[in-house]
């Protein structure tokens, strides 16, 4: 099933991916505010919660830049597989 995204949500997903590729770590909520020309951090947080419910991102609340795109190559970046 392909999720129906708003223009703002699509822009946020694209920004997160570009930011991650450019800097090597995920953006903060304030980075997303300025990078997507959004009016406030609460609007970003609201949309991130929706994207998380859709299964498009994972968030780690206790980590400041804890946004991870699901189903992309970045998900496994920096991890090592160890056979058991």
| pLDDT given at position 23 | 96
| pLDDT given at position 76 | 47
Q: Where are the beta strands (DSSP E) in the chain?
A: 57-59, 67-69
What structural domains does the chain harbor?
A: 7-71 (1.10.10.10)
69: three-class secondary structure by DSSP: strand
What is the rounded CA–CA span in Å between residue 59 and residue 52? 7
| pLDDT given at position 77 | 52
Q: What is the dihedral of CA 45, 3, 56, 38, to 10 degrees?
A: -30
What is the rounded CA–CA span in Å between residue 30 and residue 18? 15
Alpha carbons within 13 angstroms on the beta-carbon side of residue 78 total: 7
What are 34-46's pLDDT values in tens digits? Answer: 999 999 999 999 9
| pLDDT given at position 82 | 52
Which residue numbers in the chain have pLDDT < 70? 1-3, 73-84
| pLDDT given at position 3 | 62
| pLDDT given at position 71 | 83
């Amino acid at each position: 099933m392909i999720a129906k995204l708003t223009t703002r949500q699509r822009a946020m997903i694209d920004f997160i991916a570009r930011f991650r590729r450019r800097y090597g770590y995920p953006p903060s909520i304030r980075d997303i505010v300025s990078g997507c020309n959004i009016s406030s951090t609460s609007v970003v947080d609201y949309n991130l919660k929706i994207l998380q419910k859709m299964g498009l991102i994972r968030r780690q609340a206790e980590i400041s830049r804890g946004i991870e795109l699901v189903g992309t190559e970045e998900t496994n970046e920096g991890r090592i597989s160890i056979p058991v």
